[in-house]
Chains A and B, each alone.
Chain A
Amino acid sequence: MRIIKIFLPALCGLLINLTLPAQDANALLKSLGNNMDKISSFEADALIKVDVDFISIKDRKMKVKFKSPDKFTFDVEGLALLPKKGLQMDYLQILKAKYTAIDVGEEIIGKTKTHIIKVIPEAEDSDVILAQLWIDPELNRIMRMKTYTRKSGSYVIDFEYNDVMRPLPDVTTVSFEISNMAFPAKAMNEMMTKGLQMPDSLPKKARVIVQYSNYKIVNK
């Protein structure tokens, strides 16, 4: 009986310690989701800069429109290359499905102290294998996201905010790796100019910077 009196509180303490990070992580993610759920729709002007070694494209302007829950439309002047991941608040998609969240620590990004949460989607057919979110617990905003996917490899998205209150970013930087052109396309050119050569297929660093302005937000 005495042993139970001693060990029971200790066991409870241990269990609380183990489950607390998960509860904190879930609470943080829920706050983040709730913060975004307040938005019914928004539109903004965006400037897209593509920084890839083998892609040459001038900065493009576009109009981004969002309608809750997850409908994005992009109205671009001319032809634009947009990153497949990172422009459509991908983290909200992950958070709407079932997941397991783990708080793995803290990190300072810029001047903001963030919590790092690992999110593992539970659906077997989920494209995202693992997502790591850096969340500002004060303002419930995402500061960084690193995602590992089945189809699109891994990518990092950095979010910058100028407005203290607004949950939407002013600058989003999507970084990933990409290989140069597939053999047939490059070979056609090489054959015409220098004779057949093998293409440089080593992955290259790619960065797409999207600067948002003129936000018009409609809250629920």
Chain B
Amino acid sequence: MMIKLISIELFKIFSKPRTYIGFGAIIIIVLALEFGILLQGDNIMGIIIANIKDRFMFEGNIINLYLVSYVILNTLWVHVPILVALVAGDLLAGEANAGTFRLILTRPISRVKLVFAKFIAGWIYAVMLVILMAILSIGIGKILFGAGDLLVVTNKVNVFSSDDLLWRFAGAYAYGILSMTTVAALSFMLSSMADNSIGPIIGTVAGIVGITIISTVGASLLGPVNKYIFTSYLPSWQLFFQTDSGLASLGHAVLIQLIYIVGFMGITIWYFRKKDILS
């Protein structure tokens, strides 16, 4: 029954043109970044590693598929939340707007089941976005740049051997899926409270961007609560590319994301069960 419900919701999602905006955007962004790096990558890397380049010469292929995939992963928390919100924000509000809730809920399914079916369908869409991004980044990167070791410049310079990278990227993409699930849950929660999808989509994007700006620029304002805000952990996939204590902090990041997902879903179910669908 649940699988059938999810299939129906997936059919609805993929019947709407807006769904394909996400896939189109991912393809354009990945292609633009890959070709941008192909043309300007050496200059950009030159600036980033300027002061170690004074003392060291780099032998080997610095700009390779792993570096490109790492750079593209950095955009995950910038544009993918918008694309996820575009679909997740419409899941419940779209039905309310079209006035189809009354029809749907005449079927013998509970509201909780409907909420879960819609959320899982939205989640599958978010997963597909991240997987498409991974396949494109690695696939085109392999063709344009080839393989090599990964140079990551954070507060340290870490060089990862290519044979130590597959699990790190798998972990980073898996974490990316988790953080996008949180974004989908937020958007879905707002969607349950609205009667058209514009509010939840803009609300999600404004919320994420706003909180990120405040917690970044005004770190002192939100200092004590920063570690409990889920937006602080959107870029935590980077912990997979740190050698010291990176993975130890990952547990906390995953826990925060899970708490928010459960919280947003709890509010959604609580609100939707009471929602007036007669109007």
Contact = CB atoms under 8 A, between A and B. Distances in A.
A185 to B, nearest CB: 5
A20 B111 CA distance: 101
Given A184-B48, A191-B216, A79 B58 contact: yes
Interface of B: 47-52, 54-62, 148-151, 153-159, 161-162, 215-216, 219-220, 223, 235, 238, 243-244
Given A56-B156, A79-B62, A81-B159, A182 B55 contact: no
A82 B55 CA distance: 8
A99 interface: no
Nearest to A208: B56
Interface string A40-66: 000000000000001111100010000
Nearest to B48: A185
Given A181-B153, A196-B219, A78 B55 contact: no
B73 to A, nearest CB: 12
Contacts of B49: 185
A55 B157 contact: yes
A151 B53 CA distance: 11
Given A62-B59, A80-B60, A82-B56, A185 B153 contact: yes
Given A178-B51, A179-B51, 5 more contacts: A80-B59, A81-B159, A180-B51, A186-B153, A196-B219
A33 B217 CA distance: 59
Contacts of A190: 155
Nearest to B226: A195
A68 to B, nearest CB: 21
A152 B55 contact: yes
A153 B51 CA distance: 12
A212 interface: no
A178 B159 contact: no
A84 B56 contact: yes
Contacts of A54: 155-157
A165 interface: no
B59 A76 contact: yes
A181 B59 contact: no
A141 B51 CA distance: 33
B155 A186 contact: yes
Contacts of B159: 55-58, 79, 81
Given A79-B151, A190-B155, A194-B219, A206 B55 contact: yes
Contact of B238 (A55, A56, A62, A192): A192
A54 B149 CA distance: 18
Q: Is the interface of A mostly helix, strand, loop or mixed?
A: mixed
Contact of A79 (B60, B155, B243, B244): B60
A173 to B, nearest CB: 15
A81 B158 contact: no
A153 B54 CA distance: 9
Contacts of B47: 182, 184
A194 B235 CA distance: 12
A120 B52 CA distance: 27
B162 A78 contact: yes
Contacts of A81: 52, 56-59, 159
B57 A55 contact: no
Contacts of A196: 216, 219
Contacts of B150: 79
Given A56-B159, A79-B151, A74 B59 contact: yes
A189 B155 contact: yes
A85 to B, nearest CB: 8
A78 B219 contact: no
B57 to A, nearest CB: 5
B60 A78 contact: yes
Nearest to A62: B59
A151 B52 CA distance: 13
A91 interface: no
B87 to A, nearest CB: 26
Contacts of A152: 54-55
A143 to B, nearest CB: 23
A176 interface: yes
Contacts of B155: 54, 181, 186, 189-190, 199
30 contacts: A55-B157, A56-B157, A56-B243, A56-B244, A57-B159, A58-B159, A62-B59, A76-B59, A78-B149, A79-B58, A79-B59, A79-B61, A79-B151, A80-B59, A81-B52, A81-B58, A81-B59, A82-B57, A82-B58, A84-B54, A153-B55, A178-B51, A178-B52, A180-B51, A182-B47, A189-B153, A193-B235, A196-B219, A199-B155, A206-B55
